Amino acid sequence: QVQLVESGGGSVQDGGSLRLSCAASGISFSIYCLGWFRQAPGKEREGVAAIDGGGGTSYDDSVKGRFTISKDSAKGTLYLQMNVLKPEDTAMYYCAAVSTPRFYCPRLVPQNYNYWGQGTQVAVSS
């Protein structure tokens, strides 16, 4: 009964900021690992960031220092704050969760995540 719904995507200029949200239901934020992935045309879906049950985070090298993943357990919402956006960040962004409750996140690859939202488009122009 896990459901994930992304929102907050849009079009921004190079160097701009955007905050994505993912409303989650059927997930205990204290034991599930949550993540953000993205997929650009012609590219494989790739991991962006993850946050574990205890709030520990991990990021792909391409977004370190620019993106911040966070969660509001009370609201059941996952966030991705994206700053200093670049054209190469243009992609469909998905929030995801691991099906098995766990404290620490597995490797940030799509194969390790089981529940997915429908995606929200982010476009960054030069």
| pLDDT for position 94 | 98
The most distant pair of C-alpha atoms in the chain lies apart, rounded to whole Å, by 41
| pLDDT for position 87 | 98
| pLDDT for position 31 | 80
| pLDDT for position 50 | 97
pLDDT per residue of the chain (126 residues) written in tens, 0 to 9: 899 999 999 999 999 999 999 999 998 887 889 999 999 999 999 999 999 988 999 999 999 999 999 999 999 999 999 999 999 999 999 999 998 877 789 999 999 999 999 999 999 999
Contacts of 4 (CB under 8 A, 6+ apart): 22, 23, 24, 95, 96, 97, 115, 116, 117
